[in-house]
Structure 1
Amino acid sequence: MRHLLAAALALTFSAPARAADAVVVRGHKDRINAVAFTPDNKTVATGSTDKTVRVWDAKTGKELLSLEAHTGAVTGLAFSFDGKKLVTGGYGPRQKGTEVFTGEVKVWDVSSGKLLQTMEKTNLAVEAVAFDPNGRQVAANSGKLVHIWDVMTGTRKVTFEGHTDPVRGIGFDAQGARLVTAGEDGTVRVWHPDTGKLIHTLKGHQGLVLATAVAPNGVRAVTGGQDHSVRIWNIETGKEEAKLTKHGGPVSGVAMNPDGKNFATASGLDGTVRVWETETGKEVRILRLPKESKGPCRVAYAPDGKRLAIACFDNSLRVYELTAE
């Protein structure tokens, strides 16, 4: 299950000399679908269509751990708030006689790479996963449904029904009081995680909602859409606070700075990652991606807010040093 492959893989990286430079890490054999930092800022994990999850040193690009994680593509991953566990979601086996894949959700021990729990399989492939703040539950979609499992037992506790098309993004607030989901039906939904009760349905995007991130204070969520827009929502009131339209392509990646003051959005088709002020919606930074990064991108903020990790369909991970001169 666990492979330390750093010596065998061809990794390339360069130390950041200015804001536009990045540590570039290559090792996956297929596109990267998910990226997340550990809470200690030191490492970053990626999940790929090559069926593996890999953990890298965020400063050097050295591979630290590789997991043969799923029977199909790994499409979502998230660390627990204490950094000790990693949840992964993805594609399971194809259902007999159909083109439909089952879904898999697994929980791992980060230090050892040991598989801790395999959740009850879902009927459809998983696209997004999240840990709740106390690390006792994980959420993941199965098509248009969202499920919550108990980490210790692997049993399903709650199912959320309301989206009419597949869910693409999931996020808890830092208190575990709300779960936010983003769907291909063009809606963003806010739920009570313990009961599955729908609190708000947020409408505004024209087309698929591709990604979401929740501010740590639990007041705001940010979403990116196929319509090239970024929306800031007040999830207490259910109101849209801002519509940001500077991207020139679908926004497939959204990440919140853990202090809640800024967030980042990524559009591989317009070749940019943009950093915004959460309170005002003001754009404060643009990172321009290389041409080979065209296509959907995922983005993750380091917990200290000093780095951004960006993974695109060119099979590479780029870690930008935001504090570089």
Structure 2
Amino acid sequence: MELNKNDVNDKDEPHLRPNDSTTITDRSTHDITEPHDAVTGPIEPLEPVNTHSMEEQSLETCPHEEDISDNTSKHGNITTDTNEDDRVNAADSASTSVSDSRLKSAVSDSRVSSEVIVEPETCRENMEISDNTENMVDNQQQFMAVHSENTSDSQTLQMYSPTLLTQVGFEPDNYLRGCKWSVDGTKVLTATNENKFYVYDFPLDVDTQSNVSEMRHSRVISETGGVYDYCWYNQTSDPSSCTFLTTSKDNPIHNWDANTGQLLSSYRAYDQMDELTAAYSLCYSLDGTKIYSGFKKMIRVFDTNRPGRECQSRPTFAGKVGGQGGIISCLAPSPQGNLYAAGSYSRSIGLYYEPQGEAVFVFEGQQGGVTHIAFSPDGTKLFSGGRKDPEILCWDLRKPGQILYVAVRKVETNQRIYFDLDSTGRYLFSGNHDGMVTVWDTQQPPIKLRPDTDFVLKSFQEFRAHNDTVNGISLHPTQPVLATSSGQRHVPSLDDDEDLPSDTDSDQENSLKLWLCK
């Protein structure tokens, strides 16, 4: 299979981002204990700042990705820069201990330009990016300096022509909603539009295509409502105890055994009317002891070992104080353990500090509602993608609100399009609306196509994986194997003759495929 170089051209330029206001939530008005730092003791509470309250998004119904009308909006372009020495020093200090550091924040005229977990000596001065070529080169050199810290001796995924190992197809109207590997790599899980989960076993000694037989599901698990989200338990190393969580419309969070297909436990959330309410997103904490679940303007936290209705409610938006509004659509724990991130359909991203879940920063930048977020393996960067939004944004968490670069893909619907990073954090994979899979090397310096746009990371490989939208991307945790899933809702045209095949029939493909990337 030939892989084409995908140079970014004019049509792939990031969208201009006029200035917007950003909200940083002051949690001092809530009855929440002040957080304590593991090294330095109590952290000073965030000081009130002059902010504009985020506009609340009126979403009253439970959202499927395609069923919610999209509020697309252009947002401010980050214009933060310092000289090369100061920025390298900032990166160096951020990678050290958090001793004597404090969480501070500042609101710029566009996105948040703030310092977090840095030494007092770190430069905090913000300047607009110069239009001249010299500063462009400085930014690229700084980017390489930051990434030089993250090189790893672990096995790097070798990118050659991917070889199709095996595949399985589904009925025309039964499109897939992503795919995910278990933490031990022995199983791959996918959800379908018929509200069913299919579990497939996978051998760990795969070297060639002849080692993989035809894919046959080992278990099929059904939910009664539309699936919102699902995730594997992240602490399992024993295949005999492989479990995963699901959340669906009008149902509690369910914990399933992937080997037997049995329901092990349920976690129930109730609203102010004491009626059962479904979570829209979920994930485990880094140590697997907590379950984070997203609701409208709320994150509820369950104890993994205590199923039932007992949970901790953490509002993300509080009246005049502001915060993160809308439906919490995606969640991810930080590899550093003391933070977790939440994306919202209101186009905002929030960082929250454990153990009480205080908001550290809330910033905006996505053109559409945020549908997927992922931390880099070292925890210094956060990647985010949105609905009807062609940009994957790479946020620098050393300076929350600052964008390192933009990776451009094709997303034309409200459907959730996943992306994934390899175990080293070097390669970024994403599906596209046109059936292609795009790969970026995050260690390459980004370029600036125009002075008034963000830096762009050019893709270096692209291959056709499906004939329809590639909505699921998941890399095997230990093997050079990539799982992809495809499909979307196709609405027949009123002009189509029922007796004649539609022009789009050849483009419809609902399938799960495994690729060998070596």
TM-score normalized by the length of structure 2: 0.47
For residues 134-162 of structure 1, give each alpha carbon's deviation from its aligned partner in whole angstroms, at most 9, with x where no partner exists. 06211111225210012222111111221
- The share of aligned pairs that are identical, in percent, is 14
SS at match of 1:293: coil
Q: Is the 8 A contact 2:347 2:366 kept in 1?
A: yes
Q: How far did residue 243 of structure 1 move?
A: 0.4
CA distance in 2, matches of 1:314, 1:162: 38
How many residues were matched structurally?
A: 272
Which residue does the alignment assign to 1:241?
A: 360
Q: Is the 8 A contact 2:340 2:352 kept in 1?
A: yes
Which residue does the alignment assign to 1:143?
A: 249
Structure 2 unmatched runs, 5+: 13-64, 67-153, 204-211, 272-276, 318-323, 446-518
Question: Are residues 267 and 126 of structure 1, via their aligned partners in 2, closer, same or farther at CA, if it must alter by over 3 Å?
Answer: closer
Of 1, 8, 14, the residue aligned with 2:4 is 14
Which residue does the alignment assign to 1:304?
A: 424
Structure showing greater relative contact order (alpha-carbon pairs closer than 8 Å, 6 or more residues apart)? 2
Of 311, 314, 333, the residue aligned with 1:198 is 311
CA distance in 1, matches of 2:184, 2:6: 28
CA distance in 2, matches of 1:294, 1:324: 27
Does residue 159 of structure 1 match 2:266? yes
CA distance in 2, matches of 1:175, 1:309: 26
Q: How far did residue 85 of structure 1 move?
A: 1.3
SS at match of 2:166: strand
SS at match of 2:228: coil
Q: How far did residue 208 of structure 1 move?
A: 2.1
CA distance in 1, matches of 2:400, 2:365: 11
Q: Is the 8 A contact 2:340 2:351 kept in 1?
A: yes
Of 122, 128, 135, the residue aligned with 2:223 is 122
Does residue 107 of structure 1 match 2:219? no
SS at match of 1:305: coil
Moved more, 134-143 or 215-224: 215-224
Does residue 82 of structure 1 match 2:184? yes
More helix by share: 2
Structure 1 unmatched runs, 5+: 1-10, 23-30, 33-38, 43-56, 93-102
Of 330, 334, 356, the residue aligned with 1:211 is 330
Question: Are residues 269 and 88 of structure 1, via their aligned partners in 2, closer, same or farther at CA, if it must alter by over 3 Å?
Answer: closer
For residues 12-35 of structure 1, give each alpha carbon's deviation from its aligned partner in whole angstroms, at most 9, with x where no partner exists. 7424779x9x9xxxxxxxx99xxx
Q: Is the 8 A contact 1:124 1:143 kept in 2?
A: yes
Question: Are residues 186 and 76 of structure 1, via their aligned partners in 2, closer, same or farther at CA, if it must alter by over 3 Å?
Answer: farther
TM-score normalized by the length of structure 1: 0.72
For residues 107-146 of structure 1, give each alpha carbon's deviation from its aligned partner in whole angstroms, at most 9, with x where no partner exists. 2113343422223x22112232211120621111122521
For residues 257-312 of structure 1, give each alpha carbon's deviation from its aligned partner in whole angstroms, at most 9, with x where no partner exists. 2332222001353432111234542434222425x433343322222101222234
Q: Is the 8 A contact 2:298 2:313 kept in 1?
A: no
User: Which letter maps to 2:202?
Assistant: V
For residues 167-202 of structure 1, give each alpha carbon's deviation from its aligned partner in whole angstroms, at most 9, with x where no partner exists. 33221233211122223x232222212323413434
Q: Is the 8 A contact 1:191 1:200 kept in 2?
A: no
Does residue 271 of structure 1 match 2:393? no
User: Please, what is the CA RMSD of the aligned residues?
Assistant: 3.3
**Greater Cα radius of gyration, structure 1 or 2:** 2
Does residue 186 of structure 1 match 2:297? yes
CA distance in 2, matches of 1:84, 1:146: 24
Which residue does the alignment assign to 1:294?
A: 412
User: Which letter maps to 1:180?
Assistant: Y
Question: Are residues 84 and 321 of structure 1, via their aligned partners in 2, closer, same or farther at CA, if it must alter by over 3 Å?
Answer: same
CA distance in 1, matches of 2:349, 2:253: 23
Does residue 170 of structure 1 match 2:160? no
CA distance in 2, matches of 1:174, 1:117: 27
Which residue does the alignment assign to 2:164?
A: 63
For residues 56-105 of structure 1, give each alpha carbon's deviation from its aligned partner in whole angstroms, at most 9, with x where no partner exists. x965344333223688232143211122211222332xxxxxxxxxx212
CA distance in 2, matches of 1:168, 1:63: 33
CA distance in 2, matches of 1:152, 1:250: 35
CA distance in 2, matches of 1:131, 1:69: 23
Of 349, 352, 357, the residue aligned with 1:230 is 349
